[in-house]
Structure 1
Amino acid sequence: MIQHYLDLLQKLAPAGAILGLSTIGSMMICGSAQALTFFNNRNAFNAAAGGSLSFESFENPNLPYPQPSFPFQGGTFTVTETNGTNFLTNTLVNGAFGSFPVTNGQGALWYDDNGPSVGVFGLNPSVSAIGFDLTTRANAVVVLGGSIATVLNLTANTPQFFGVIGNPGEISQITFDASGVPLVGWDAVSFGNANAVVTPEPSTILGLLAVAGLGLGLKRQLKPSQSTEKETTKVG
């Protein structure tokens, strides 16, 4: 979309203005990089991501613990626990920890946040979008770090959706620190590269068209002066 406007403007503008247009175009393209956008509603997140994401709901009871990994779009999504007892596992609704909230299917993944524990999502290659349901056994303030930085306030046993969309390759890791709250769990994780398309703001387009108009005015002013110069040379 941006290149289309640049091509149009370069056809309209004189040669002297093309350099300026190219510079503005570069500024637009660089400026199109969006900041991280956070979501607390899954439907809104899915709509913004464009429906091209991978999905994992931890249904397999035989995952390779304590570091399960899941293939996606030619890469790997891993979940680990660091600095703690590495007690990372999943549970089925009818299993020993069946009371732990499950939001999709029959399984969920969780760990025991025993003080220094930190849960970690790893994404290789990096992605632009990830969303998931997060639950804690007790009321908790969960600090999310890694490629993002935010804080979530969770109510005990109440799954809360969190999603984030950024630029391509911006999200490689998300860490979870619940400060010792027992049992932190995830379910219904969507991740991958969003199909978001960045379009220029109308004001930006109008500004470029104004520059093109200025260029046309300069071009018209140059034509008479050039003709006069030719005639003067001929007479001399």
Structure 2
Amino acid sequence: MGGPVSGTVQGTLTLPDGDGTNLSATSLIVTSAPSALGYTLPFDVLANAIAVLDNSFTVSGGVITASSFGALSIGGAFTLNFSPGNFGSLFNVQGSGAALSGVVDVNSTTLTYSPAAPTTVPEPATVLGLLSVAGVGLLCKGRKLEK
């Protein structure tokens, strides 16, 4: 640890599908953070970046096993395991200009990644099955009304 603001920063990141090294995040969104940091959430790190210092992730077996990410925005900084021992993982106070002003873990000891819950899109057969069930329900309802 080492920053003056305590709390947890959480978010989502999007990487290309599959395993590999030097994969770059195409989206990185902070979804929750201590209010003392002064950001409006959700905060899109890449869209607000004026400089991306590093954007490298290693995925093995669908799990992120290594990372080095650093981005600067106007008056802000966000890193994930970037230059451990110096910056590590941090999200600074908006507008402070001081990297170590917010939530800071210089050795990234609290940094964890977990896969997102899979989203399922119903297959066409499933949708047709649901529509069929709805149709039978409507027919039964119609018959009850006729009596």
Q: Which has the larger radius of gyration?
A: 1
The answer to whether TM tops 0.5 is no
| Structure number having the greater helix percentage | 1
TM-score (norm 1): 0.22
TM-score (norm 2): 0.32
Between the two structures, name the one with larger relative contact order (CA 8 Å, sep ≥ 6). 1
